[in-house]
Amino acid sequence: MSQRLKEKCAIVFGAGSSGPGWGNGKAAAVAYARAGARVACIDLNAGAAEETAAIIREEGNEAIAIAADVTQLASVEAAASATADAFGGIDILHNNVGVTHMGGPVELDEAAFQAALDLNIGPVYRTAKAVLPHMLERGSGAIVNISSLAAIRYVGYPYFAYYATKAAVNQATVALAMQYARQGIRANCIMPGLIDTPLIYKQISSQYETTDDMVAARNAMVPLGHMGTAWDVAAAAVFLASDEARFITGVCLPVDGGQSCAAGGAV
């Protein structure tokens, strides 16, 4: 991979994987490092953060691991300060934390709805609050928020809170992009479609008889005929964080195999 992020520092919230394999945050952290960035791998699970950082270091790149809770501002601020101290600043903020809870307003209890707010849109606010001062000090920066195709489309799953909070991520990204454009800071978000990551086997598979049924159904919904991988999302993130995207801000980019373009989500 080209060194398009050489001498940049990236802080990746949600850099661990929720199971064996490659989640979106884990792949993004490694992809940033392969593009030349020094990476702070942040995760609630210290072991998961360290696993990602170890992969980066084993490949000859630079990374640190920090445990932090994105629902707690003080924890996020401490992670941002530790990153800036270790690397001399922060150039890239990547938000990957999220959760799905099945059910509409009737079935969903208030605690689950509040958890969706805290874990899907809350981190965009808290990480921006903690990291933006470091970017403003430099007069530059790139924010990449991971949203979802569910922000703009009904994708067939009954997760009211997820649709609502991911839509909020999109508009929060636009708000950041416009407010800080004149300070040299860009903000974009990625809307992954149906991606084959460890998370879907924990949070989505209950909607199907078997995991094989889930994989087959999700593949069939994508116009290209198959789900994407975490590396598809990571490649888009590296581009948006790089100077190649220096004239791109406020964009909500689908990475979805064409699903957002197809009536009914398939062809």
Catalytic residue among 32, 159, 162, 163: 162
185-192: strand order across its sheet: 63-67, 38-43, 9-13, 92-95, 141-146, 185-192, 252-255
Residue 206: CB atoms within 10 Å: 9
Active site residue 154: no
Give the C-alpha separation, 260 to 236, whole Å. Answer: 16
Contacts (Cβ under 8 Å, ≥6 apart) of 4? 35, 36, 238, 242, 243, 244
Helix (H, G, I), strand (E, B) or coil at 38: strand
CA 138 distance to own-chain centroid: 23
Write the DSSP assignment of 78-105 as a string of letters.
HHHHHHHHHHSS--EEEE-------B-T
Q: Which residues are catalytic?
A: 162
